[in-house]
Every structure is written in structure tokens, then in C-alpha cells.
Structure 1
Amino acid sequence: MTVTEYAAKFTQLSRYAPNMVANEQMQAKQFQEGLRLNIRAQVAPFMLRTYSEVVARALVIEREMEEAQRLRSKNSKFGGSEKWERYFKCQKYSGTTYWAKGPRRCYECAEVGHLRRECPKFQQLAYQPSQWQFQQMNPQIQGRQP
């Protein structure tokens, strides 16, 4: 059911439960709770107070969702969805496979050809204990002062 259809049905049925829609805020709340979950989740953060504001926002969101769906279906006909899927998977790690395009780049030294775990500079730093680590390994024991 579209937002327009739901608004018409809501108005029609609200005559039978006037105590649930006694004022503008209650009407807005009841209408919002009856929206489809995907639309309601996007309307809720606006904390709209009037019925007309909720209806208007829900219509805008529904229109945007329909437009996004239309573009997705259009792109899938031309292989566009695969392009976006590859874009979002870029530089994510899964098991032993890297999906990033281009050469591998280290996050530690920014050099091409290896990753941080293989970085010679990082490995040197990893084996040099810091002063804090040294103090943790050799804590000073202090007794009570007389």
C-alpha cells in the first residue's frame, strides 16, 4: 500500500476511533506507527509533530525510495550493480582475499607491494619494547614509608 493509499484509509478509519486521534500529535503518532517499516524508520528521526508533516515527509521518502529502486533496476540491466558492488567491497578483507583494485598498499608506511602485517618498519617497531612495556615487565616494588 502506498503512503497516499494509507493516508486515505487512515483518515477514513480515524472516524471510528476519535479517542486515538484526539489531537494533531496523537494523529501524527498513530499514522507514523502504521507506516511501512522502511519508511517509518526514515520518518522517525525527524520527530514530526503534526499529521500533515508526517504525511508530507513519508511521501517524499517513498518517492525517493521509488527513484532509487528505478535507478537500481536500470543499472542492473546494463551491469551497473556489479560496478557498485565492487566499489563497496574495495579494500575489505575476507579470509585471504583482498578485493581492492590496484597495487596493495601498506597502511603503516604507505609503500606499495606489501600489507601492514608484512611491513618491515612495523615489524621493527613491534619488537622494540616501549618504555611503558618495560616498566610493566619490571615493576618497581615500593614498601611503606616509615
Structure 2
Amino acid sequence: MYDALQFPEEVKVKLAVPMLKGNAKFWWIAMKAAVQGNGEQLTWEEFKGKFYNQYFPQSVRLVKQNEFLTLKQTENMTVLEYASKFNELGRFCPQFMEEEISKANRFEQGLRYGIRSRLAVLLFTSYQDVLEKALKLEAELKRSEKERSDQKRPKMTESLSDRPQNLESSTNKKKRFEVCTYCGKTHGGPCFKKMGVCFICGQHGHLARDCPNKKKNDSEPTELGAQLLH
């Protein structure tokens, strides 16, 4: 922060010291006594170097630097979460963070492909510009994904008007003309063969071939005879 504001070297150290707490404050008291005893004055770069050596040994810094260099936004990581991790680890790689163009380029390259590929046609000169564009694009992608999901969702109910109108009538019709289990033919009403009556007039005492109504009805079947044709 102080580097970006371009404070004089001696002012940067004076501004940083009051922010030290706990063990860090005691460390500075001892460090200041040793430095002033030698008649020296710490520069900002020297102060940062000694502070990092005390609280971030070389082995730790190397691990953090590697984490920063390999940092990528995962599919389940938001842009803000990625930005927070980027700035946290960026402290250990100041060569990428001190210049805005370098910082912006590094941040852009770590974005997930769906966002990075859409930003590739743009030219950024600041980290803040990349961050704002990435946040807007992320929101737009989420909105588009939700719309596609809603369109693919099947309808849960079916209106009565969508049902086949002839379903009930066709079912009843099929039941009305079932095959008789006694004579093996299809007809409505009682089975004349089972009742032992004339197939033409429906009376007892004679067969269809001897029916007195046979000639009368040769050209015009009776209602009972017509049932046998179904």
C-alpha cells in the first residue's frame, strides 16, 4: 500500500511501526535498539526484508510464492474468492504486484476459462479494471445458466384439454363388443345360442332355418338378427 502511495522511505517505516502488535511489536523494539546502536537507519526495503525473515522464513516464502504462481480460479470459486487469494499470496511475489499492468495480466491469466476466454479480446491496464469486468461477466454467465435451466425443466402438470377427447368413448366402445365366451362370436345383449331361441325372431320352438319370419326378413333383417352381424 505504501509503495503505491509513493511515500518517502523514512515515512513508510514510521507509518508501519504503529501497526505492529504483540510479538511483532516486541520484535521491532529489539530491532530498533540494535540498528540505532550501530548508528543506522532502516530503509523501507530493509524493514520489509527483516520483517519477512522473522515471520516468514525462506522456506515458507518459497511455498507461498509457488502457490501464487500456480493459483487458478476453480469452477466452484467465485471471482471475489479468487481475488482475495490472489492478493493474499501476491505479497510474496512483489515483482508481479508492484506494476498495475503486470498485476492485471497475472490476475487475468488465473481466471477460469469461461471468463478468461471472453476477456481475451480486451486490453487491460489495471488490476481493478480486470476485476470489475470479471465480476460483471460472472454475474451474466450465472443469469444465462439459470435461464437455460428453467427452459429445460419439464412441465409437472397436464391440462385436461391436452388429454385425448376420444379416450373414454373408445374404451366404452371396446367393452361393448366383446367376444361371447359361449358362442365365440361378437354381439351385444344375451347370447341366443345359449338361450336356445331362433336367431331370427328370438322365439322358442324352432330353429332359424324353419322360422316363419325368414322369408319376410330375407331382405330386411330383424333387429335381433342384426345384432348377430356385429
Q: TM-score, normalised by structure 2?
A: 0.33
Q: Which runs of 4+ in 1 moved over 3 A?
A: none
Counterpart in the other structure of 1:15 = 91
1-structure distance, mates of 2:111, 2:142: 16
Partner of 1:26: 102
For residues 96 and 132 of structure 2, what CA distance do their matches in structure 1 show? Answer: 21
SS of equivalent to 2:141:
helix
Letter in 2 for 1:39: I
Question: Which residue number corresponds to residue 209 of structure 2?
Answer: none
% identity of equivalent residues: 35
Partner of 1:74: 150
Structure with more contact order per residue of length (Cα contacts < 8 Å, sep ≥ 6): 1
Matched, 1:51 2:90: no
Deviation at 1:22? 2.1
Query: What is the letter of the counterpart of residue 86 of structure 2?
Result: F
**SS of corresponding position for 1:45:** coil
Distance in structure 2 (CA, Å) of the matches to 1:78 and 1:46: 39
Shift of 1:71: 0.3
Tell me the CA shift for residue 78 of structure 1. 4.2
- Per-residue CA deviations over 1:51-109 (Å, capped at 9, x if unaligned) read 00000000011000000000000111147xxxxxxxxxxxxxxxxxxxxxxxxxxxxxx
Tell me by how many angstroms 1:27 deviates: 0.4
Aligned residues, how many?
79
2:138 aligned with 1:62:
yes
In structure 1, C-alpha distance between the alignment counterparts of 2:93 and 2:113, rounded to whole Å: 23
- Tell me how far apart the structure 2 counterparts of residues 5 and 55 of structure 1 sit (CA, whole Å): 11
Aligned AA for 1:24? E
Q: Normalising by structure 1, what TM-score?
A: 0.52
**Cα distance in structure 1, aligned partners of 2:148 and 2:154:** 10
* Unmatched 5+ stretches in structure 2: 1-76, 156-230
Superposed CA RMSD in Å reads 1.1
